[in-house]
Structure 1
């Protein structure tokens, strides 16, 4: 009996290292699984972050690089024929207007355009304001998109100024108001508001 107990103790002592080794293997396996899960989670989180839309993607059509703005300003603005009135003759109006319009000068800069409405002259520019007051009277910071390289894409508005030549006394030249939407920024918050800007110059009969 004592001999059997001694042999059993010897067997337990011999198996103890194997049991400890088994526990270590299981522990290492669990650690490996935990680390793998953590790396996969970080990788998926990183992919989600890289797929977050940029400011240009969130607000398409608002931001343009200089080359895009240059191409935009070259787009034509076809006019729509208006209904003529029988009590107004072409000769009486055209003679007065042609005498008052300035003689042709050098071409305007690319960001400036002059159009005529009767005797009134509209000069068009495309500024990109940093700050602008919206229709609710709130002074907004106009958002600017910066890509990873550092190039800026800004928001441009079509702004027009009105000129009435001397002697143009058969009408009043007045700038109409038009409304545009722009993306504003306040810290990390972005939004879109309406802004009033000067529109084209119109000749109103007096």
Structure 2
């Protein structure tokens, strides 16, 4: 079962580590478990809805030198000029939202993985600027104070999220 430590690794952990694993069972996985999840998440869901510019009654500034585009994307519109690659990372250290560098909790082979994306702009695409949106994930961190009730904590951490195309014109 994903997120469940093996019996041999459980017997070697202290009680506070076991309590964290019990409280946050979906947070921790081995590299092998993460690879299985990643392969299962690589689905391409087709979109059956498109814009028909002939039926659009909203007024937009239309760049006449871009024949395939009849609408200028708004600030929040997604556009195909941007290319993204999804990966999952498992950092040992990460600065949280308050600016504190934290050691992320690891229990044997059980680690925390976070979805992160890269962002590149297609060469020659000038209709927009590609930018990464940050996302917040919660993660369990380890203070290193063995035997302490405050050894483990939870905080928010920024990661690279979705790659989007923004009109800055």
Question: Deviation per CA, 1:14-34, whole angstroms, max 9, x where unpaired?
Answer: xxxxxxxxxxxxxxxxxxxxx
Runs of 4+ in 1 over 3 A off after TM superposition: 52-55, 76-85
If asked which structure has higher relative contact order (CA below 8 Å, sep 6+), I would say 2
Aligned to 2:162, which of 194, 197, 200? 200
Partners of 2:127 and 2:45 lie apart in 1 by 27
Structure having the larger proportion of residues in helix: 1
Aligned to 2:117, which of 160, 163, 169? 160
Partners of 2:36 and 2:99 lie apart in 1 by 33
Alignment CA distance shift 1:81-1:200 (3 Å):
farther
Q: Is the 8 A contact 2:128 2:166 kept in 1?
A: yes
**Structure 1, unaligned runs of 5 or more:** 1-48, 95-115, 147-151
Aligned-CA RMSD value: 3.1
Describe the SS at the equivalent of 2:114: coil
**Structure 2, unaligned runs of 5 or more:** 1-13, 71-77
Partners of 1:66 and 1:83 lie apart in 2 by 38
Alignment CA distance shift 1:78-1:142 (3 Å):
farther
Q: Is the 8 A contact 1:55 1:145 kept in 2?
A: no
1:178 aligns with 2:135: yes
Number of residues of Structure 1 aligned to a counterpart in Structure 2 = 130
1:92 aligns with 2:68: yes
Q: Is the 8 A contact 1:141 1:185 kept in 2?
A: yes
| Higher alpha-carbon Rg | 1
Partners of 2:49 and 2:153 lie apart in 1 by 38
Q: 1:78 deviation in Å?
A: 4.4
